[in-house]
Amino acid sequence: MDILLKPVAVVANDRKGLDDDFWGPVLSKITLLPEFPVNAFDGIDTFSHLEIIFFFDQADPLKALTHGHPRGNKDWPAVGIFAQRKSNRPNSIGLTIVELVRREGNSIWVKNLDAVDGTPVLDIKPVMKEFLPLGEIKQPQWSHELMNNYWK
């Protein structure tokens, strides 16, 4: 079965490369594509956070492994692709919860988006507490180590 997705917006920021760390200072502008009216963003500024679903258009799907060490680090256990958040994925889809800074017309500015300049955005959804996990979030120690510099 084929699935056809079309971008709704595009990311603009100073981040050009696919480096793994130091996303914290990046401020991203997300602009709707011309086929979407400006009122598609009406009410978005009543939310503090958004989910941005995007396409890793610069990732290499041929490098998508089904199993391996995160970032190639042999100090961490080999795990399946669905236990990692790497960009080389079977469907090259990324998802990040971001902080909404402001909206102006058909553009929004967000913090904590780990998408490079020119990245196609597939969808934007408001974050609602009722959709967040109710219980404690559990994750292995290696994932904390991997994320140590991610948002710095």
Q: What is the CATH number of the domain that holds 17?
A: 2.40.30.70
For 78, other C-beta atoms within 10 Å of its C-beta total 11
Q: What is the pTM of this model?
A: 0.92
Q: Within a domain: residue 103?
A: yes
At 117, list the tokens.
Answer: 């300049």
C-alpha–C-alpha distance, residues 71 and 119, integer Å: 22
What tens digit of pLDDT does each residue of 89-134 get?
889 999 999 999 999 999 999 999 999 999 999 999 999 999 999 9
Q: Is the pLDDT of residue 64 over 80?
A: no
Bridge partner residues of 5 (DSSP):
none
Q: Within a domain: residue 105?
A: yes
Task: Give the structural domain span for 54.
Answer: 9-146
CA 2 to each of CA 5, 19, 82, 91: distance values in angstroms, whole numbers, following the listed order:
10, 30, 21, 12
Q: Is the pLDDT of residue 145 over 80?
A: yes
Q: Within a domain: residue 17?
A: yes
What tens digit of pLDDT does each residue of 5-39 get?
999 999 999 999 777 887 888 999 999 999 999 99
Cβ distance 151 to 66 under 8 Å? Answer: no
Q: Within a domain: residue 152?
A: no
Q: Is the pLDDT of residue 76 over 90?
A: yes
Domain count, the chain: 1
Compute φ and ψ for 130, nearest 5 degrees: -65, -15
